[in-house]
Each structure stands twice: as structure tokens, then as C-alpha cells.
Structure 1
């Protein structure tokens, strides 16, 4: 079985909720903003110009992530989760790479993510992909659990990058 990254289709909507609810309930709780976005991804992610990807292994949907279009040229990497029983097989990195490729395809100017310092494996993966930790949380963050703010800056890897919007 080979791992495939596939775009959103309505038949996969329940997997978007399931995969995100799994990690959110394990580590935190589902916040109102999560419930809103996960329940209606077409309205809250796709219609504003975002994208959703899924990792498929054989007949199983094992992971997902979204690229949320926040404003012209600005995107958030969000709602990324891999089924706990399939971790360690590269699905998270493949999803991350697909989202970054889509960001570039759209000529994005700023790609960011918000996370939690407790998710050390995910944070390491983001850093390896070119995300740089910022000195403070994002102004106007939607998430109570977010205490990490990172900006995609692969050419400036290792050097401090400051959010031009902050």
C-alpha cells in the first residue's frame, strides 16, 4: 500500500472532523472555533479560498490538514491530524509538504501556524519543514490552547523571523 495525498471531497468530510477531534480530545478539548470549522469545512475553509488535504493509505483515510486563506497572500496551516494507529509512517510530513506546495502554487506571502508547546513531535516536524518559532503568540489568536506561533521561512532557517503583520 502506498500513501497518497488527496484533496477534499464531500465524501471525506466526516474524516476531517474525526481525525482532528481525535488529537484535540486527547491533548486538549474541542474549542468552539474548532467545532465550527470541523463541522462545515466547505464554508469555513474552502469557500474563503483555502484547501484541505487527506492522507490515504489503502482504503483508510489516516490524516488531514488544511490551508486556511486568512487574507490576501496570508495562509494558516491548521487542522492537522494523523490517526494515532498510523503515526510514524510519514503521513504528517507528506500532508505538511502538500500544504506548503499549495501555498507556493498560490504565490502566498505569509504562511503561519499556531500550536502548543506540549506537541513536541509536531513542532520538530514544522521546524524541519522551515517554520521558525516566534517570540510571542500570535496577536488575535483564535485558540486558547495556542502558546506557539511559527512562520514559514525556509530561506531564513535558524535566524529569527518576525511577523510583518504583528
Structure 2
């Protein structure tokens, strides 16, 4: 039986661009423009970004990006799973790959902003240990946004 694979890939590929367009349309259907904090493909191609793609039999199912801030933190951006692939645990697999990369890069905390109308995403993050926090970075308080963070214990952490 084929398995979902997760690999770091460049974001500028036709199937991935289609997925990002689906993500844009989904976000626009839920929130006004001022509450959407999406990054474009050129941002995803920056050196401080690790971009992950989930595939099954070569078909793109989902994606996510880890954007390192340079201060020991990183942010999850562009986490999206094709609606037709939901239920395959693709989001969980992407999140695990992203967290593993963050730990290997010495990131001590992963932060994210998501919308309040996305219970599946919120549930995934809470199950994975993310907790609510105030806005961070350049984000301003927004009643439609939820800010979360997970502290990581990288290889240098010797605590029990």
C-alpha cells in the first residue's frame, strides 16, 4: 500500500502553486483580506524557509513552511492540505517533519497564527502541544486570529 511521503521541495512547481491558490481561496472564503496573513511564493523561496510537500503516488496532497526568524524562533506558514486528502493524517505528518527540522536547526519555539474559523487546524495544533499566546512579531491583535506556540527541546537540552 502506498504511503504518504513528506520531503523538502521548492515551492515553485505547478501542482504546489495550484495548492497554494486553493489555500488562498479557502482563506478568502473565511476571512476578510486584512485578517489573512499569507506569504507569497517568493517569500517561501528565501534561505530561512524550509518548505515541505506531502505526496501520495507523486500527487501533491499538502504543504507547509517553517520560516526561521533568526532569534531562535520560527513560524509555521502556508500549512494546507487538499480537501480531497483530508482524513489521511497529512497535516500531522507535515507538522512532524516541520518540528523535526526546527529541532535540528536549533529552534527553541515554533509560533503560528491561524484563524478562529478553522477548528480542524486548531485541533491539530492543540493535539501536537501548541498553546495559546499573544500576537508575536508584526502581528496585531485580531478577533479572527488565534496565536499559538510550542516550545521545543532540541538536541542540546539535557533536562529529563
Q: TM-score range by the shorter chain?
A: 0.7 to 0.9
Q: Deviations over 1:128-166 (max 9, x none)?
A: 1111012x33352189795100011378xxxxxxxxxxx
Q: How many residues align?
A: 148
**SS in structure 1 opposite 2:48?**
coil
Consecutive unaligned residues of structure 1, counting only runs of 5 or more, are 156-166
Equivalence for 2:157 = none
- Runs of 4+ aligned residues of structure 1 deviating over 6 Å after TM superposition are 142-145
Report how far residue 15 of structure 1 moved: 3.5
The C-alpha deviation readout for 1:100-146, integer Å capped at 9, x for no partner, is 11110111122100001110111010011111012x33352189795
Contact map agreement 2:103 2:152 (CA 8 A) in 1 = no
> Cα–Cα, structure 1 residues 18 and 59, in superposed 2: closer, same or farther, change >3 Å?
same
SS in 1 for 2:60: strand
Matched-pair contact (CA < 8 Å) for 2:108–2:152: no
Q: TM-score, normalised by structure 2?
A: 0.79
Q: Which runs of 5+ in 2 are unaligned?
A: 154-160
Residue in structure 2 matched with residue 140 of structure 1 by the alignment: 138
- Give the number of the structure with larger relative contact order, counting CA–CA contacts within 8 Å between residues 6 or more apart: 2
CA contact (8 A) 2:64 2:77 kept: yes
Selected match of 1:38 from 33, 37, 40 = 40
Q: Using structure 1 for the length normalisation, give the TM-score.
A: 0.76
Alpha-carbon distance between aligned partners in 2 of 1:143 and 1:70, rounded to the nearest angstrom: 20
SS of equivalent residue, structure 1 residue 137: coil
